[in-house]
Amino acid sequence: MELKTRVAVIGAGHAGIEAALASARMGIDTILFTTNLDAVGNMPCNPSIGGSAKGHLVFEIDALGGEMGYAADLATIQSRTLNLGKGAAVHSKRVQADRAEYKRQMKRTLEGEKNLRLIQAEIVDILTEDVDGRPQVSGVVTALGEIWSASRVVIATGTFLDSKIFVGDKVFSSGPDGLMPAVGLSDSLRRLGLTLQRFKTGTPARVHLRSVDISSLEVQEGEDEPVPYSVRTEKRPVNEVNLRPCHIVYTNKDTHSIILSNLERSAMYSGNITGEGPRYCPSIETKLVRFADKERHQLFVEPCGLDTDELYIQGFSTSMPTDVQYEMLHSLQGFDKAEIMRYAYAIEYDCADPTEMYPTLEFKAVGGLYGAGQFNGTSGYEEAAAQGLVAGINAALAERGDEPMILSRSSSYIGTLVDDLVTKGAAEPYRMMTSRSEYRLLLRQDNADERLTEIGHRVGLIGDDRYDRFLEKQAMIADEIKRLEKTVVPPSEANNVLLRSLGSAEITTGAKLAELLRRPELSYSAIFGLDPDRPCLPSAVVRTAEIKVKYQGYIKRELAEVERQKKLEDKRLPADIDYKKIVGLRLESAEKLDKIRPMNIGQASRISGVNPADISVLLIYLGK
């Protein structure tokens, strides 16, 4: 039997799933390899999808034709939108997901994809052949000795590469959740000349529900009007979405005393762990050391699913030994009799240096080899899925002989994520945050479809029916904005009474609805009484129209900045440029430019250590 495919994806976590589905749905014969079929789409850390900036990524994944948002909708047991007290730019959806249901949904989806094969096998080697002096992927080798030929390979191994688990002074080879580590592939990648880094992450203990006095904890209910991640999802009643509450508990002086008095027993502080940990999701012991003056830390008690009694204690990640883990838990309010079902641990693993990749996520040194997810030095399911989608799309486009898909920073958080990785690298596990984007008001959750659906349709992941519905929605938004800009509200007594009741100034002359809507204290729903001829529109149309009108001035300002930056992005840099021969370019800058090999002046300007004077030198060089 000839073992052959066109695109091989290694790892069936969140990155691998999106990469494999994208490639297969674009008509390319694809194989997804995983070390354990029962762990497809596993959530080894918190059982949630979304959150600040991460929710934006999920909406963008859906707008491009990815799967994460739809699966998350079907597995939701609580939905909340964060930061509603702030501006629209930072509103971020987050759902508590049923861990087992999410895995089931993803596995069934993969099994049903016609151009995709799902195979349980560990990949231990990447095969290449020389093409015009550059190694080009030719296949993969399994631990059982099978050789599969493939012209494109996406590595999405998550935290499994030569991974080790740390619990106190206990150290052993293992992947997350007690799964097997991937041993051997790291050596293969080093032989190909790729640089590997050592990173670390961790997870808290899981506790049995019956052992916790839930009634003593602060309740965190879901939102009243949940908006699905995916346009494919039928909107459901709130009682079918918010099926389980979450709870909040706080650390206290006793908790802090227990942790600090046992600090040397933590693997993080004993010297056993050498990998870089996540700055924005640290262990509880790191929080106490870093924020020594803080009297308490907020923890979130989250259900892992509808058919399990496991509770996840978000914010309580640790690598303490088991006896200390019990002491820490028992010091929390309502947890004095807590029973641990799964112990907390830290995990250390190999990952790539993303600056060795193009913005397509293909390695510069090896043709046809792509990286995605935590293998690229990121943290989080959403960041992983976004990269998997980019890598899968570009692998398929390359197979078809089409131009690659490169998303700009102004188009999406996905574009920002990839640009940060390949331009600046990851000195620690990278996490997406709204503050990483200079175009936050343009990159909102509500307009992800406006920004990316056309691209998804062009590459072949968005069907014509869905695209037509998208165009209809955009037309409705444009029409409603025109109506708001044209409709004049007369200065009647009834209208002024309503304005006064809303804490807004009266009008003495006719005022357009759009002008009133731009008042900070007024909203689309609040001015209903001033707008008797208002059409009945879908909530998604209203939401985007309102934001576009209310923030019109700020949006115009950001669009002007996008145009200014686009001029730099349009100035392409030759792939074979010798930076060390450019007169006037500092040696440090020449070395960094030579390593990153930026595609254009805009990307070059974002490389750490390349200053404005260097950019001026490059512009003069291009002019000559």
For 513-541, write each residue's pLDDT tens digit. Answer: 999 999 999 999 999 999 998 999 999 99
pLDDT confidence bin for 60, thresholds 50/70/90: very high
Tokens of 348: 């250390």
pLDDT confidence bin for 199, thresholds 50/70/90: very high
Provide CB contacts within 8 A for 346, sequence distance 6+: 165, 166, 167, 200, 201, 202, 267, 268, 273, 277, 283, 317, 318, 319
Q: Which residues pair with 313 in a beta bridge?
A: 301
Q: What is the dihedral of CA 314, 319, 325, 327, to 10 degrees?
A: -110
470-558 is a CATH 3.40.50.300 domain: no
Phi and psi, residue 450, nearest 5°: -60, -35
Across 458-482, average pLDDT? 98
What's the topology of domain 206-348? Elongation Factor Tu (Ef-tu); domain 3 (2.40.30)
Which tens digit of pLDDT belongs to each residue from 391-414? 999 999 999 999 999 999 999 999
Across 537-564, average pLDDT? 95
| pLDDT for residue 495 is more than 80 | yes
Distance between CA atoms of residues 375 and 568, nearest Å: 30
Across 425-442, average pLDDT? 95
Across 173-186, average pLDDT? 96
Inter-residue contact 49 to 422 (CB < 8 Å): no
Distance between CA atoms of residues 147 and 127, nearest Å: 9
Distance between CA atoms of residues 224 and 220, nearest Å: 12
Closest CA to 150 of 6, 1, 34, 3: 6
* CA distance to 195, 325, 556, per residue, from 207 (Å): 39, 11, 50
| pLDDT for residue 347 is more than 90 | yes
Distance between CA atoms of residues 476 and 481, nearest Å: 9
pLDDT confidence bin for 624, thresholds 50/70/90: confident
Distance between CA atoms of residues 410 and 190, nearest Å: 35
Tokens of 337: 């009799």
| pLDDT for residue 509 is more than 90 | yes
Across 579-608, average pLDDT? 93
Question: Cα 352 vs. chain centroid, distance in angstroms?
Answer: 18
Residue given tokens 């933590």 in the structure block: 266
* CA distance to 215, 317, 490, per residue, from 220 (Å): 12, 20, 44
Per-residue model confidence (pLDDT) at position 531: 93
Across 352-356, average pLDDT? 97
Tokens of 443: 């990159």
Across 256-277, average pLDDT? 90
| pLDDT for residue 542 is more than 90 | yes
First CA to last CA distance, the chain: 57
Mean pLDDT score of the chain: 96
Per-residue model confidence (pLDDT) at position 272: 83
Residue given tokens 């088991």 in the structure block: 322
| pLDDT for residue 1 is more than 80 | no
Distance between CA atoms of residues 346 and 165, nearest Å: 6
Tokens of 558: 């950001």
| pLDDT for residue 575 is more than 90 | no
Alpha-helical segments (H) within 306-461: 322-330, 381-400, 413-424, 448-459
Per-residue model confidence (pLDDT) at position 2: 81
Which tens digit of pLDDT belongs to each residue from 295-308? 999 999 999 999 99
Distance between CA atoms of residues 394 and 64, nearest Å: 13
| CATH for 7-198+351-459 (3.30.379.10, 2.40.50.140, 3.50.50.60, 3.30.565.40) | 3.50.50.60
Share of the chain above pLDDT 70, in %: 100
Per-residue model confidence (pLDDT) at position 235: 84
Say yes or no: do domains 206-348 and 570-623 share a fold: no
Per-residue buried b or exposed e for 526-550, using 16+ beta carbons within 10 Å of the residue's own CB: bbeebbeebeebeebbbbbbbbbbb
Phi and psi, residue 167, nearest 5°: -135, 100
Distance between CA atoms of residues 451 and 64, nearest Å: 9
Q: Which residues pair with 345 in a beta bridge?
A: 203
pLDDT confidence bin for 378, thresholds 50/70/90: very high
Q: Which residues pair with 342 in a beta bridge?
A: 206
pLDDT confidence bin for 274, thresholds 50/70/90: confident
Residue bearing the bigger pLDDT, 115 or 1: 115
Residue 213, amino acid: D
Across 272-294, average pLDDT? 88
H or E segment to which residue 346 belongs: strand 345-352
What residues does each domain of the chain span? Answer: 7-198+351-459, 206-348, 470-558, 570-623
| pLDDT for residue 281 is more than 90 | no
570-623 is a CATH 3.40.50.150 domain: no
Q: Is the pTM of this model over 0.85?
A: yes
Tokens of 275: 């990998």
Inter-residue contact 529 to 498 (CB < 8 Å): yes
Per-residue model confidence (pLDDT) at position 392: 98
H or E segment to which residue 591 belongs: helix 587-596
pLDDT confidence bin for 184, thresholds 50/70/90: very high
| pLDDT for residue 94 is more than 80 | yes
| Angle formed by the axes of helices 539-550 and 464-486, nearest 10° | 50
Which tens digit of pLDDT belongs to each residue from 305-339? 999 999 999 999 999 999 999 999 999 999 999 99
Tokens of 250: 């706080």
Per-residue model confidence (pLDDT) at position 249: 98
Inter-residue contact 155 to 11 (CB < 8 Å): yes
| pLDDT for residue 201 is more than 80 | yes
Tokens of 81: 């939108």
Q: Which residues pair with 572 in a beta bridge?
A: 600
Query: What is the 8-class DSSP label of residue 178?
Result: G
| Angle formed by the axes of helices 448-459 and 464-486, nearest 10° | 150
Tokens of 151: 């012209």
Inter-residue contact 120 to 37 (CB < 8 Å): yes
| Angle formed by the axes of helices 54-64 and 448-459, nearest 10° | 40
Per-residue model confidence (pLDDT) at position 228: 96
pLDDT confidence bin for 356, thresholds 50/70/90: very high
Closest CA to 573 of 612, 611, 618, 617: 618
